[in-house]
Amino acid sequence: MDILTDDDPDIAHKEYLEFGLHSYPQDLKRAVVEHVNALQGKVDAVFLGFGTCNSLKEVRRELVVPTVTIEADDCVGALLTNEEYARERKVCAGTLFAIPFVSEMGTEYFEKELYSKMPNYEELGVDAQWFLGMLFDGYSRLLHVDTGVGDAEALHRRSRDMAERLELRYEERQGTLQVL
């Protein structure tokens, strides 16, 4: 989003919520309502950079600041279009969509989750590779989505590394910023 908004003089405030909140729908909704409503009187309107997944479908009813949302199912739909996202899910239901942020985070994000949520993992005989295998069991493909944003070669490399580490077939395709 920074690349799209950096030089826009009308952008008065940017705020990013914690990555991974979508895994906890009630926490995501609560955080969005709290953060957006806290901007009342400080901004004219808010652009909510989340897709309208089920957890946020009716959230605008609870917001006191006029809010614009992305017309996409989620962040992947926002970078592929909902139609292309649906098509790719039909191609392979077990797809890990490596949009730029996911590529940047890599498997390290999930490993940190293991270490923070299960500090005694070594005592239990669990290692990061086992955890990743359990987490991505049922996935067979990693689809790198190139949006033309960021360091393309570094993102490709990170996605390839992630596919290799997770033992997933690697594919890539062009994304879009049109929905944004």
My answer on whether 66 and 109 are in the same domain is: no
My answer on whether 153 and 90 are in the same domain is: yes
The pLDDT tens digits of the residues spanning 69-110 come to 888 878 898 899 989 999 999 999 999 999 998 999 999 999
Domains identified in the chain, total number: 2
For 177, phi then psi, to 5°, come to -110, 5
Domain holding 90, by residue range, is 81-174
**Cβ 143 vs Cβ 173: under 8 Å:** yes
Q: Is residue 179 part of a domain?
A: no
Distance CA 172, CA 158 (A): 12
Question: How does residue 5 score in pLDDT terms, banded at 50, 70 and 90?
Answer: low
HEC letters along the chain:
CHHHHCCCCCCCCCCCCCCCHHHCHHHHHHHHHHHHHCCECCECCEEECCCCCHHHCCHHHHCCCCEEECCCCCHHHHHHCHHHHHHHHHHCCCEEEECHHHHHHHHHHHHHHHHHHCCCCCCCCCCHHHHHHHHCCCCCEEEEEECCCCCHHHHHHHHHHHHHHHCCEEEEEECCCCCC
Distance CA 61, CA 79 (A): 26
The pLDDT tens digits of the residues spanning 8-26 come to 777 777 888 887 777 777 8
The pLDDT tens digits of the residues spanning 111-135 come to 998 898 888 988 999 899 999 999 9
Q: Is residue 76 part of a domain?
A: no
My answer on whether 66 and 92 are in the same domain is: no
Strand order in the sheet with 95-98: 95-98, 141-146, 169-174
Asked whether residue 30 carries a pLDDT value surpassing 80, the answer given is yes
- Among the candidates 33, 51, 70, a domain finishes at 70
